[in-house]
């Protein structure tokens, strides 16, 4: 039950965190050991598991398999209640603050309780904010919500602050998986300056340079999925330096 406390500790000493996102919908369980060995040899600090559209029970099997191969914390980043499994360490209990669909603001959360009560998952309340990034993303399609315009920085800041004031423990700024444009340094920096809770940033980050830019702008934890799925060289780039 210390995933969140460890994030807070890292933030307090300005240590940057990196989550590798595994989407069960796009990942073959038989590749787990090879993939996770590369994750273990990289600078990644967390494994996130989740996706917008995932078949029932797939997440449970995949998390059990990942757990066999790594000591890194496994955090659920669920697109739906069916992705809840007690085999992970923690869950981002996401409320989609950028949208106005009650199901994704509070409805699914109420439905999730009976399932969560049967697990020992550490539950981390997270304000999830989708920002427009070029093309329509899966989150938009599935949740039937509109992202916030990337030009409306003040509205993004106000949304993040409202999340913090509601008691959320993390804010996650999302450009969407495979986003054409990652979030700008300006957006990240403005939101970070307005918050006292840790800031997660993800979507469309494909290079070490972009990763460093996100950190420099103020991201505490960066989430990368697509670049790891599609490019082995990206792992080479992010190898641990001893
Ligand atoms: C998606 O923020 C994550 O929810 C990661 O996005 O797949 O573009 O790295 P990418």
Give the pLDDT confidence of 104-115 residue by residue, as tens digits.
999 999 999 999
Residue to substitute in 24, 92, 140, 175 for testing ligand 1 pocket (most ligand atoms within 8 angstroms of CB): 175
Mean pLDDT value of segment 197-209:
97
Percent pLDDT > 90 in the chain is: 90
pLDDT at residue 232 greater than cutoff 90: no
Span 49-76, average pLDDT: 94
Distance (Å) from CA 21 to ligand 1 centroid: 7
Q: What's the ipTM?
A: 0.98
Task: Determine the average pLDDT of the residues in 88-100.
Answer: 98
90 has pLDDT over 70: yes
| Interatomic CA distance for residues 218 and 85, integer angstroms | 31
Please give the average per-residue pLDDT across 136-158, as a whole number.
96
Which of 202, 230, 235 for mutating ligand 1's site (highest number of atoms within 8 Å of CB)? 202
Express each pLDDT in 158-195 by its tens digit: 999 999 999 999 999 999 999 999 999 999 999 999 99
Kindly list the distances between the CA atom of residue 119 and the CA atoms of 20, 68, 87, 114, 188, in Å, as whole numbers in the listed order.
23, 19, 8, 9, 34
Q: Ligand 1 mean position to 73 CA, how many Å?
A: 18
Q: Which atom of ligand 1 is nearest to the CA of 175?
A: 2
The verdict on whether residue 104 carries a ligand-binding annotation is no
* Spatial separation of the C-alpha atoms in residues 160 and 120, rounded to whole Å: 28
pLDDT at 52 over 90: no
- C-beta of residue 131 within 8 angstroms of C-beta of residue 159: no
Tokens of 185: 């340094």
pLDDT at 147 over 50: yes
Question: Is residue 10 marked as binding?
Answer: no
Q: What is the pLDDT of residue 50?
A: 96
- Mean pLDDT of the chain, nearest integer: 95
Domains in the chain: ranges and CATH: 3-237 (3.20.20.390)
Euclidean distance between CA atoms 98 and 95, whole angstroms: 9
Whether 242 shows a pLDDT value over 70: the answer reads no
- Alpha carbon 75 to its chain centroid, in Å, reads 9
Question: Using CA positions, which residue lies closest to atom 1 of ligand 1?
Answer: 177
pLDDT (0 to 100) of residue 169? 98
Distance from chain centroid for Cα 15: 18
Q: Which token pair is 170?
A: 């993390």
The stretch 3-17 carries a mean pLDDT of 98
Helix H or strand E encompassing 11: helix 3-12
Is the CB of residue 21 below 6 angstroms from any atom belonging to ligand 1? yes
* Neighbour count for residue 9 (Cβ, 10 Å): 11
Task: Give dist(CA 130, CA 226) in Å, integer.
Answer: 17
Q: Give the model's pLDDT for residue 233.
A: 84
- % residues pLDDT > 70 (the chain): 99
What secondary structure letter does DSSP report for 239? B
């Amino acid at each position: 039950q210390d995933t969140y406390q460890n994030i807070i500790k890292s933030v307090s000493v300005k240590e940057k965190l990196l989550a590798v996102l595994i989407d069960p919908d796009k990942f073959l369980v038989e590749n787990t050991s090879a993939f996770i060995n590369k994750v273990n040899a990289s600078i990644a600090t967390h494994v996130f598991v989740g996706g917008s559209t995932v078949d029932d029970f797939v997440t449970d099997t995949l998390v059990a398999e990942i757990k066999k191969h790594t000591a890194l914390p496994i955090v659920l980043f669920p697109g739906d209640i069916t992705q809840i499994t007690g085999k992970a360490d923690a869950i981002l209990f996401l409320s989609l603050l950028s949208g106005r669909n009650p199901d994704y603001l509070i409805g699914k959360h109420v439905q999730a309780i009976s399932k969560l009560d049967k697990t020992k998952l550490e539950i981390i309340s997270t304000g999830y904010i989708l920002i427009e990034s070029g093309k329509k993303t899966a989150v938009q399609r599935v949740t039937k919500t509109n992202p916030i315009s990337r030009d409306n920085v003040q509205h993004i800041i106000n949304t993040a602050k409202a999340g913090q004031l509601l008691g959320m423990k993390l804010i996650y700024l999302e450009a969407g998986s495979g986003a054409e444009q990652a979030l700008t340094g300006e957006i990240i920096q403005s939101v970070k300056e307005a918050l006292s809770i840790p800031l997660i940033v993800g979507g469309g980050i494909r290079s070490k340079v972009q990763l460093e830019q996100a950190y420099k702008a103020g991201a505490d934890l960066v989430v990368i999925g697509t670049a790891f799925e599609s490019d082995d060289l990206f792992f080479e780039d992010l190898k641990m330096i001893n």
